[in-house]
Amino acid sequence: MKKTFYALALAACGLGSLPSAFAQNRLAPGKLVLPRRECATMDVLTAQLKEDPGLAQRLEAIESHTRSFQRMRTSGKPTPGTTTTVTIPVVVHVVYNTTDQNISDAQVQSQIDVLNEDFNKLNKDVSKVPSLFSGVAANTGVKFVLAQRDPNGKTTNGIVRTQTKVSSWSTNDAVKSAKRGGDDAWDATKYLNIWACNLGQNLLGYAQFPGGKASTDGVVILYSAFGSRVKNPDGTYTSTYDLGRTTTHEVGHWLNLRHIWGDASCGNDYVDDTPTQQTANYGCPSFPHVTCSNQGDMSMNYMDYTDDACMYMFSTGQSARMNALFAAGGARASLLTSPGVTAPLTGSLIAKSQVTLYPNPATDVLNVALPESSLAGWSVKVFDARGYEMKQAQFSEGQLQINQLPRGLYQLTLTKGNQAVNQRFQKD
Ligand SMILES: [Zn+2]
């Protein structure tokens, strides 16, 4: 039956109609009506597909890559997120019109902390997962840090503040453009961009899936649904969306997760271990809520529409779907070598002239000679012309193995503590 549903869903929508963005409702401050998260996927999708004729094809390529990855993981081969850590540098663009909207560094940090708990199954409320699903509640292995180095190589705390005359924003991505009163994205191949701002139209947030335009890549969150009231009580929050789960949900989309009900009646979320469910759940449903002949909806999944306090798990299948993006050829694999995760180095331990690299150009082995007899305590890294760390160059005992490096110019950086010396070399 499930396969039939998949086929029908695919036939009805086609891959080109996979949601490329979505939106959620918020409770207007002081409003007594119960809030509901809702989705504006199709409107935004239609606009993006119209504007970007290559999008449908790119989404299809990502799906194909994801399926190959899932087969690889099932076969037991080492894959990112399980055998290696995925650390994503984050820049938070706080775009504010009023003082309230200019949320504190502490509120921003509380959101990063929530992301790290939720994506690594360190959230305390994971203990509430019903026994039916406890076996598939997943640690995704994805970690988040506020960027320490900006795109120009300068020190940053990962938070950019922009005062604006714009009092309210919509899903038209204006908040991602300095020309339109917002703030431009940082290089999306190296950073997760998050905009915290006053989203209007009763929106809580929206995201762009992998495969979209770099200039609009990232997630947008209502400032008062950003961060956690529990971790940072002094912040500004919207009731029932005050535990940071809106951002967990949106970043889930940014990492290619669909809504748990597949945006159709008993639809397909491209994940095998989440039960087929009829539609979104709201508020805080009791378990089990049986639909589509399942044993109960996974309404406590971050990709449902429940209140922040009532969503507390990703599944193993969702984790694999996200991890696929970081495998070789994955749509977000470039983040693994982002310089944003480490602070720029200051000062030089020794004079540049005291470091000798030979032979230069080199083919297989580059010798690194220093005035110190021992290289103990030194860390050696190699960066390409774009500033990406080249992890295939292995260093030991004064020699750098470069046979795996493509031909080209590189920078070798020797560091000790916060001090560094750089030298260039050529691989032939
Ligand atoms: Zn959503």
Give the pLDDT confidence score for residue 42 in this predicted structure.
52
CA distances for 148 relative to 153, 219, 221, 415, angstroms: 9, 20, 22, 17
More reliable by pLDDT, 248 or 48: 248
Residue 60 has pLDDT above 90, yes or no: yes
Question: How do 399-401 and 86-96 pair as beta strands?
Answer: unpaired
Residue 237 has pLDDT above 80, yes or no: yes
Q: What is the pLDDT of residues 322-377, one digit of tens each?
A: 999 999 899 999 999 999 998 887 666 666 667 788 888 999 998 888 766 555 66
Select which of 60, 250, 389, 397 is catalytic: 250
Residue 259 has pLDDT above 90, yes or no: yes
Q: Which of 48-62, 82-96, 179-193, 320-334 has the highest mean pLDDT?
A: 179-193
Show the tokens assigned to 272.
Answer: 């095998």
Whether the CB-CB separation of 312 and 129 falls below 8 Å is answered with yes
Question: Is residue 107 within a helix (H) or strand (E), and if so which, with residue range?
Answer: helix 105-119
Total number of residues shown for the chain: 428
More reliable by pLDDT, 379 or 210: 210
Q: Rounded CA gap, 368 and 358, in Å?
A: 7
Q: What is the pLDDT of residues 106-130, one digit of tens each?
A: 999 999 999 999 999 999 999 999 9
CA of 207 to the centre of ligand 1 (A): 8
Over residues 33-45, the mean pLDDT reads 57
Kindly provide the b/e burial profile for residues 393-422, where b requires at least 16 CB atoms within 10 angstroms of the residue's own CB.
bebeeeebebeebeeeebebbbbbeeebbe
- Sequence ranges of the domains in the chain: 2-338, 345-427
CA of 21 to the centre of ligand 1 (A): 8
Residue 16 has pLDDT above 50, yes or no: no
Over residues 313-327, the mean pLDDT reads 95
Give the pLDDT confidence score for residue 25 in this predicted structure.
45
CA of 26 to the centre of ligand 1 (A): 13
CA of 266 to the centre of ligand 1 (A): 16
Q: Calculate ∠ Cα 380-384-389, nearest 5°.
A: 50
Q: Read off the pLDDT band of 5 (50, 70, 90).
A: very low
Residue 419 has pLDDT above 70, yes or no: no
Helix axes 55-74 and 316-323, enclosed angle (nearest 10):
120
Least confident residue range of 65-79, 245-259, 414-428: 414-428
Q: Kindly report the CATH class assigned to 345-427.
A: mainly beta
Kindly provide the b/e burial profile for residues 363-384, where b requires at least 16 CB atoms within 10 angstroms of the residue's own CB.
eeebebebeeeebeeeebbbbb
CA of 253 to the centre of ligand 1 (A): 7
Dihedral pair phi/psi, residue 265, rounded to 5°: -65, 120
* Percent share of the chain, pLDDT over 90: 62
Does 345-427 match 2-338 at the fold level?
no
Least confident residue range of 40-54, 88-102, 149-163, 305-319: 40-54
CA of 24 to the centre of ligand 1 (A): 7
Give the pLDDT confidence score for residue 35 in this predicted structure.
59
CA of 239 to the centre of ligand 1 (A): 19
Residue 34 has pLDDT above 50, yes or no: no
250 is catalytic: yes
More reliable by pLDDT, 207 or 388: 207
Asked if the peptide bond before residue 361 counts as cis, ω within 30 degrees of 0, the response is: yes
Give the pLDDT confidence score for residue 220 in this predicted structure.
95
Over residues 285-307, the mean pLDDT reads 97
Beta bridge partners of 256: none
Fold of 2-338: Collagenase (Catalytic Domain) (3.40.390)
CA of 12 to the centre of ligand 1 (A): 20
Q: pTM of the entire structure?
A: 0.79
What does the mean pLDDT of the chain come to? 86
Give the pLDDT confidence score for residue 3 in this predicted structure.
33
Measured from the Cβ of residue 424, the count of other Cβ atoms closer than 10 Å reads: 11
CA of 259 to the centre of ligand 1 (A): 6
Residue 301 has pLDDT above 50, yes or no: yes
Q: What is the pLDDT of residues 403-412, one digit of tens each?
A: 889 899 988 8
Over residues 288-311, the mean pLDDT reads 97
Answer positive or negative: Cα dihedral of 123, 129, 135, 137: negative
